[in-house]
């Protein structure tokens, strides 16, 4: 939306000002560095570092005791619910 407003000359619009404030607020903790490798139309992230990162390698593994893996099933069911509803709706349309 921000790019659309700027492209169409709405630089001084109240909506663009509100979006600027939103972006400024949400990006306050964004910092750090990312090293990327660009090659033949692909991008590979080589490394990333930030003092405010929410990424903790010690809880990412399946063997980790820091994260309850049983929480993943219900979370996936909730996340997939819109697609399940869509599939049911589409099957009713097809029948």
Report how far residue 66's alpha carbon sits from residue 52's, in angstroms, rounded to the nearest whole number: 19
For residue range 4-30, list pLDDT tens digits in order.
Answer: 999 999 999 999 999 999 999 999 889
| DSSP-assigned letter for residue 37 | E
Tokens describing residue 81? 């619910």
For residue range 35-66, list pLDDT tens digits in order.
Answer: 999 999 999 999 989 988 887 777 766 666 77
Geometric angle at alpha carbon 11, from 18 and 13, rounded to 5°: 50
Report how far residue 9's alpha carbon sits from residue 88's, in angstroms, rounded to the nearest whole number: 44
Please tell me whether residue 75 adopts helix, strand or coil conformation.
Answer: helix
The pLDDT of residue 64 is 66
């Amino acid at each position: 939306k921000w790019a659309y407003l700027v492209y169409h000359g709405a630089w001084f619009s109240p909506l663009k000002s509100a979006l600027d404030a939103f972006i400024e607020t949400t990006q306050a903790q964004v910092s750090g560095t990312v090293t990327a490798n660009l090659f033949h139309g692909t991008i590979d992230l080589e490394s990333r570092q930030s003092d405010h990162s929410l990424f903790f390698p010690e809880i990412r593994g399946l063997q980790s005791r820091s994260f309850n893996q049983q929480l993943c099933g219900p979370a996936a069911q909730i996340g997939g619910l819109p697609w399940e509803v869509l599939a049911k709706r589409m099957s009713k349309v097809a029948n």
